[in-house]
């Protein structure tokens, strides 16, 4: 008989690992499915300065290793497997992975989202060396310097204002002309705040063609979309906010998603399906910040809500019904 888990958690980033920790502390049997290395996006950053509890900065991989070890010590099982499909099976949920499946009474989707990458020449090589996808995380390293923000949506302009408090100057590259009413896709209040900020200069109708630097960013090549003219702009940092890509393709038609693919939940992190919860950067971004501490907190909420859901269910006794060897708190 296939083992039945109290909760199948998909994704072992901050949200999934925190969900695993809280699920175990609530006496549930969780299994975490992770398609890459456990740890999620923070595995890519050298220094996390804003996660509470670490007065000196902590390298992302070390922080995530600690979370993983904490979850495993408490008895959460982590399996390297990519979730490919989610289907209902009676009262249970079936999560398909290559060569098998995991059955859960509940599911927590903690699959994260990746920032859409800048395709300009040199951007990939210089990521982490002056090209950053997170001003809240990395802005501090550029205090007193001149930087460029690529993007003109809400997140880009909010982060440009944030950077303006630290940096000498913030350029904002917008790929539409100034008189295009859709050039800035941010809320009016955000747009006005950015436009009025004396440290922010908008560069209209340009694209970043190349990020230059030998080991670290020294500037960018901008192309004017009207004239085709190229010019070099010396900056120390290039921040990119051109959208995110949530890892939810396989969930289309299963749980309700926004048109961009983010998972819709209520305030208790319940998705449109009973017993399926979601946490972290895969959630609809309105009113939330893509930060590890927030993802971890949502993972905790989702696990506690899964426990509440299970305790309200009458699908048989928990004892001896497939609770794994690590059952119990």
Which parts of this chain interact with ligand FAD (CB under 6 A)?
A: 10-16, 33-36, 40-42, 44-45, 48, 50-51, 82-83, 110-112, 115, 133-134, 137, 247, 250, 280-281, 290-293, 295
Residue in the structure block whose two tokens are 């630290």: 166
Rounded to whole angstroms, the Cα distance separating 35 from 98 reads 11
Residue among 6, 137, 167, 282 flagged as catalytic = 137
Residue among 46, 65, 134, 224 flagged as catalytic = 134
Nearer to ligand FAD by Cβ, of 14 and 219: the residue is: 14
| b/e map 207-238, b = 16+ CB within 10 Å | bbebbbbeeebebbbbbeeeeeeeeebebbbb
Active site includes 167?
no
Nearer to ligand FAD by Cβ, of 29 and 244: the residue is: 244
Nearest-approach distance from CB 210 to ligand FAD, in angstroms: 21
Nearest-approach distance from CB 19 to ligand FAD, in angstroms: 9
207 bridge partner residues: 223
Phi then psi dihedrals of residue 87, to 5 deg: -135, 155
Per the CB < 8 A criterion, the answer to whether 161 and 194 are in contact is yes
Nearer to ligand FAD by Cβ, of 94 and 176: the residue is: 94
Nearer to ligand FAD by Cβ, of 6 and 34: the residue is: 34
Structure tokens at 60: 């992302």
Helices 154-166 and 188-196, packing angle to 10 deg: 30
Per the CB < 8 A criterion, the answer to whether 219 and 206 are in contact is no
Rounded to whole angstroms, the Cα distance separating 15 from 6 reads 17
Active site includes 6?
no
Give the CA angle between residues 166, 167, 169 to the nearest 5°: 145
Active site includes 282?
no
Q: In a 3-state reduction of DSSP, which class is residue 217? A: strand
Nearer to ligand FAD by Cβ, of 34 and 154: the residue is: 34
Structure tokens at 12: 């072992």
Structure tokens at 216: 């670290």
Nearest-approach distance from CB 156 to ligand FAD, in angstroms: 15
Nearer to ligand FAD by Cβ, of 8 and 184: the residue is: 8
Residue among 6, 138, 154, 281 flagged as catalytic = 138
Nearer to ligand FAD by Cβ, of 41 and 271: the residue is: 41
Give the CA angle between residues 282, 48, 136 to the nearest 5°: 65
Residue in the structure block whose two tokens are 């800048």: 118
Rounded to whole angstroms, the Cα distance separating 277 from 181 reads 38
Nearest-approach distance from CB 325 to ligand FAD, in angstroms: 23
Q: Are strands 237-240 and 131-132 parallel, antiparallel or unpaired?
A: parallel
Instruction: Give me the active site residues, please.
Output: 134, 137-138
């Amino acid at each position: 008989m296939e083992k039945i888990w109290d909760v199948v958690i998909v994704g072992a980033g901050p949200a999934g690992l925190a969900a695993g920790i809280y699920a175990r502390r609530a006496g549930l049997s969780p299994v975490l499915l992770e398609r890459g290395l456990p740890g999620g996006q923070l595995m890519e950053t050298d220094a996390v300065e804003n996660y509470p509890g670490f007065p000196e900065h902590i390298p992302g991989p070390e922080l995530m290793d600690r979370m993983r070890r904490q979850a495993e010590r408490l008895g959460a099982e982590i399996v390297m497997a990519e979730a490919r499909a989610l289907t209902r099976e009676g009262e249970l949920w079936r999560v398909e992975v290559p060569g098998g499946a995991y059955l859960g009474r509940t599911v927590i989707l903690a699959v994260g989202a990746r920032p859409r990458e800048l395709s300009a020449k040199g951007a990939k090589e210089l990521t982490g060396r002056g090209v950053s996808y997170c001003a809240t995380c990395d802005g501090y390293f550029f205090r007193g310097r001149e930087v460029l923000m690529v993007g003109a949506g809400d997140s880009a302009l909010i982060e440009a204002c944030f950077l303006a408090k630290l940096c000498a100057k913030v350029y904002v590259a917008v790929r539409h002309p100034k008189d295009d009413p859709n050039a800035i896709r941010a809320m009016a209040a955000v747009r006005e705040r950015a436009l009025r900020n004396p440290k922010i200069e908008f560069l209209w109708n340009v694209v970043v063609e190349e990020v230059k630097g030998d080991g670290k960013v020294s500037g960018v090549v901008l192309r004017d979309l009207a004239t085709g003219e190229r010019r070099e702009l010396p900056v120390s940092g290039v921040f990119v906010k051109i959208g995110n890509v949530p890892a939810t393709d396989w969930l289309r038609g299963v749980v309700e998603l926004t048109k961009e693919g983010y998972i819709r939940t209520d305030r208790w992190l319940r998705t449109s399906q009973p017993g399926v919860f979601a946490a972290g950067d895969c959630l609809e971004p309105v009113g939330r910040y893509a930060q590890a501490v927030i993802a971890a907190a949502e993972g905790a909420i989702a696990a506690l809500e899964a426990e509440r859901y299970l305790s309200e269910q009458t699908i048989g006794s928990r004892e001896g019904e497939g609770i794994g060897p690590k059952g119990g708190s």
